């Protein structure tokens, strides 16, 4: 399998850190180093970033693992399944609340029966299993005062090397899937409800689990926020809700420095077949939204790409359109040969981050001239062609509730046409 790491080099790293002294195995130090990201540092220092990006090797760490499972009672499930386990952060978090048996050895046997793990790399499974056993020893020492030498056992038969999209996991109704799947883009198969072409691997992994999970199985998933909020995953969300009961699906901000992506956490249970509607249900709302008053599009001018053999027109760019101001007469002209738009309209910057004070930063173009608009801007044209409607829109965009709505709906750093269209028309 790609880029395996010999387990012996991980053991050597632990010995160098003083964790695995010959004969005097010290669970406390070993477990604390294993828990504190030692395994993750080791993998990240051993594999190249390009290899990790290619296979989505970005681990949750203890804090994401806690967030994913926080506040949920896990006692109802018999087995816990991580179909892309990495070095086991999510299963470790699960094991913190699993019951202990009489001895560490019996606990390890019990956990081996109750955990299922899959990864493309055997070395990750080995490290994950080693960490889980270290936790068992640690908990027996801390909670029962039993201190034993650590004797690592072989991988349980439920720790499988392979492709999670192909392995038959034989999930049962008592299983709970905990997953932070790979996020890189991969080719979607023909029959996928995730869409066509290159799509987020996370969406395909989640789709696979929802298709094979029997009714009642639990699903906890840390996934890219675009799956929750992006317009290109709207159909995916409809299909997903046909297959699972969503308990919560919330944005959680940036994953971390190594993977610059916003994430969301889905908590759901698989639906019984009779509850699954045959037809997709549209995401409906009775509220009036921007789309009821405005057509929304992306500015068509891509400098250096759009041909420049057209007639001269007013040209609006992210640079010359000052946020919060009104343009009565354009100050710049260009000859791009593409779609032109007649004023009045409002332009909104596409670049927009949850950390910005205002998410929809806008400028009113109040002229009735035709104009070219750069691709970094969204164009919101009033259906009634009135400047007064544009001014009402500016108030809506400036409202704090709009920021809150956008922050909830879209965590990624670009406003999408879909999000702006469905933005509620807030007027007191």
Q: Would you tell me which residues interact with ligand SAM (CB under 6 A)?
A: 55-60, 82, 84-86, 89-90, 118-121, 124, 163-165, 180-182
List Cβ neighbours of 300 (8 Å cut-off, separation of 6 or more): 306, 338, 339, 372, 373, 375
* 119/403 with CB nearer ligand SAM: 119
Closest residue (Cβ) to ligand SAM? 86
In a 10 Å sphere around its CB, with 0-12 CB exposed, 13-18 middle and 19+ buried, how is residue 355 labelled? exposed
* 164/327 with CB nearer ligand SAM: 164
Contact between residue 206 and residue 246 where contact means Cβ atoms under 8 Å apart: no
* 59/315 with CB nearer ligand SAM: 59
Q: At what angle do helices 122-144 and 104-114 cross, to 10 degrees?
A: 140
Q: How far is the CB of 318 from ligand SAM (least distance, A)?
A: 34
- Contacts of residues 159-163 at CB distance under 8 Å and 24 or more positions apart, as own/partner, are 159/85, 159/115, 159/116, 159/117, 159/118, 159/125, 159/128, 159/129, 160/116, 160/117, 160/118, 160/125, 161/1, 161/118, 161/119, 161/120, 161/121, 161/122, 161/125, 162/118, 162/120, 163/120
Structure tokens at 350: 């596409």
Q: How far is the CB of 114 from ligand SAM (least distance, A)?
A: 17
Q: How far is the CB of 36 from ligand SAM (least distance, A)?
A: 15
* 120/188 with CB nearer ligand SAM: 120
* 220/315 with CB nearer ligand SAM: 220
- Rounded distance, CA 68 to CA 79, Å? 17
Q: How far is the CB of 254 from ligand SAM (least distance, A)?
A: 15
* 181/418 with CB nearer ligand SAM: 181
Give the number of other CB atoms < 10 A from CB of residue 420.
24
- Determine the 3-state secondary structure of 84 from DSSP: coil
Q: How far is the CB of 206 from ligand SAM (least distance, A)?
A: 13
- Rounded distance, CA 264 to CA 221, Å? 8
* 36/308 with CB nearer ligand SAM: 36
Q: How far is the CB of 78 from ligand SAM (least distance, A)?
A: 20
Backbone phi, then psi, for 378, in 5-degree steps? -95, 145
* 121/237 with CB nearer ligand SAM: 121
Q: How far is the CB of 189 from ligand SAM (least distance, A)?
A: 13
Q: How far is the CB of 272 from ligand SAM (least distance, A)?
A: 27
């Amino acid at each position: 399998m790609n880029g395996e790491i010999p387990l012996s080099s991980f053991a050597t790293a632990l010995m160098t850190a003083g964790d695995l002294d010959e004969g005097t195995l010290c669970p406390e130090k070993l477990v604390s180093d294993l828990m504190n990201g030692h395994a993750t540092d080791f993998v990240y220092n051993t594999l190249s970033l390009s290899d990790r990006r290619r296979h989505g090797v970005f681990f949750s760490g203890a804090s994401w693992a806690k967030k994913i499972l926080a506040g949920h009672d896990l006692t109802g499930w018999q087995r816990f399944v991580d179909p892309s386990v990495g070095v086991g952060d999510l299963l470790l978090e699960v094991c913190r609340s699993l019951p202990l048996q009489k001895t560490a050895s019996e606990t390890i046997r019990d956990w081996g029966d109750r955990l299922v793990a899959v990864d493309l790399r055997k070395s990750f499974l080995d490290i994950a299993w080693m960490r889980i056993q270290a936790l068992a020893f640690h908990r027996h020492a801390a909670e029962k005062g039993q201190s034993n030498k650590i004797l690592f056992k072989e991988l349980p038969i439920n720790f499988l090397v392979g492709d999670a999209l192909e392995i038959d996991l034989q999930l049962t109704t008592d299983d709970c899937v905990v997953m932070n799947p790979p996020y890189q883009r991969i080719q979607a198969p023909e029959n996928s409800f995730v869409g066509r072409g290159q799509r987020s691997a996370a969406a395909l992994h989640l789709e696979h689990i929802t298709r094979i999970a029997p009714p009642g199985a639990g699903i906890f998933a840390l996934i890219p926020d675009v799956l929750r909020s992006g317009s290109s995953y709207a159909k995916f969300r409809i299909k997903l809700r046909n297959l699972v009961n969503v308990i919560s699906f919330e944005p959680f901000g940036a994953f971390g420095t190594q993977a610059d992506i916003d994430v969301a956490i889905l908590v759901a249970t698989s639906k019984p077949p009779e509850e699954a509607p045959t037809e997709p249900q549209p995401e409906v709302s009775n509220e009036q939204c921007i789309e009821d008053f405005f057509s929304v599009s992306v500015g068509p001018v891509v400098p250096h790409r759009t041909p420049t053999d057209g007639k001269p027109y007013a040209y609006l760019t992210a640079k010359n359109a000052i946020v919060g101001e009104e343009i009565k007469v354009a100050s710049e002209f260009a000859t791009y040969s593409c779609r032109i738009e007649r004023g009045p309209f409002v332009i909104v910057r596409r670049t927009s981050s949850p950390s910005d004070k205002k998410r929809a930063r806008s400028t009113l173009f109040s002229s009735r001239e035709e104009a070219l608009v750069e691709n970094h801007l969204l164009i919101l044209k009033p259906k009634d062609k009135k400047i007064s409607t544009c001014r009402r829109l500016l108030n809506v965009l400036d409202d704090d509730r709009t920021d809150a709505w956008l922050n909830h709906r879209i965590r990624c750093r670009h406003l999408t046409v879909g999000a702006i269209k469905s933005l509620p028309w807030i007027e007191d």
